[in-house]
Amino acid sequence: MKTKFEIAIEKSEPYQKYLVLGVSTAFFAGLIIFGGVWALVIAVICMFVGILLGLVVGSEMMRRDLDGEMTALRAQYEAASELAYKLNLELTEQVQRAESAERDLLATAAEKTALRAKLDGLQADGRS
106 domain residue, yes or no = yes
Return d(Cα 26, Cα 40) in angstroms, integer: 12
> Does 84 reside within a domain?
yes
Separation of CA 18 from chain center: 36
Q: What is the pLDDT of residue 99?
A: 95
Q: Torsion angle, CA of 110/111/113/115, rounded to 10 degrees? A: 160
Residue 16 within a domain: no
For residue 74, what pLDDT is reported? 95
Q: Is the pTM of this model over 0.75?
A: no
CB-CB contact of 81 with 66 (8 Å): no
DSSP conformation letters of 88-101: HHHHHHHHHHHHHH
Task: Kindly state whether residue 102 falls inside one of the protein's structural domains.
Answer: yes
51 belongs to a structural domain: yes
Number of domains observed in the structure of the chain: 1
Per-residue pLDDT of the chain (128 residues; tens, 9 = 90+): 778 777 777 776 777 777 777 777 777 777 777 777 777 777 778 778 878 887 888 888 888 888 989 999 999 999 999 999 999 999 999 999 999 999 999 999 999 999 999 988 888 887 76
| Domain membership flag for residue 119 | yes
What pLDDT is attached to residue 128? 61
Whether residue 3 is contained in a domain is answered as no
In whole angstroms, what is the distance from residue 82 CA to residue 88 CA? 10
CA-based torsion, 65, 67, 73, 76: positive or negative: negative
Query: Which residue range is the domain that position 55 belongs to?
Result: 30-127
Cα–Cα distance, 79 to 8 (Å, whole number):
45
Is 22 within a domain? Answer: no
The distance of Cα 90 from the centroid of its chain, to the nearest Å, equals 26
Q: What is the pLDDT of residue 26?
A: 78
